[in-house]
Amino acid sequence: MQRRALFGDRIRLRGSGDRSARERGVVTLENVIIYPAILLFFAIALHVGIQFHNSNVTQAAATIALNTARVVGGTGGAGEAAARDYLAGTPMDSAAIQVERGPEVTTATVSGVSTSFVSWLGQRVEHRVSAPTERWID
């Protein structure tokens, strides 16, 4: 027996209509599958974006350290200090910085663990740049 419900001036039978009994709950099942997939896609995109940003930050810090240390009168300590100043306040602020200034070539290396919105997904990031050491020739 079907129940009757009044809507305005017409009578409609509940349970009757175009939907079959087989389609009940399909939307819920689709949402259980689709929403987590969409969230996973956005989480992966966010993680890749954070990794890309941290890679750019370490590359810039290594370049700053190199350019500071390789000039005439520059030192490895000055290059490290310049890189630390640049990294202050960034997600890579605890990165290891190493600058080697030789008579011919200066090399700067910045490495650290990239942050992520999921703590166990952090990846190691390292950038090494080299350039000729500037010298004054009389």
CB 85 within 8 A of CB 97: no
**pTM of the prediction?**
0.73
Structure tokens at 105: 């070539």
pLDDT for residue 45? 92
Which of the residue ranges 21-25, 88-92, 93-97 would you say has the lowest mean pLDDT?
21-25
pLDDT at 78 over 80: yes
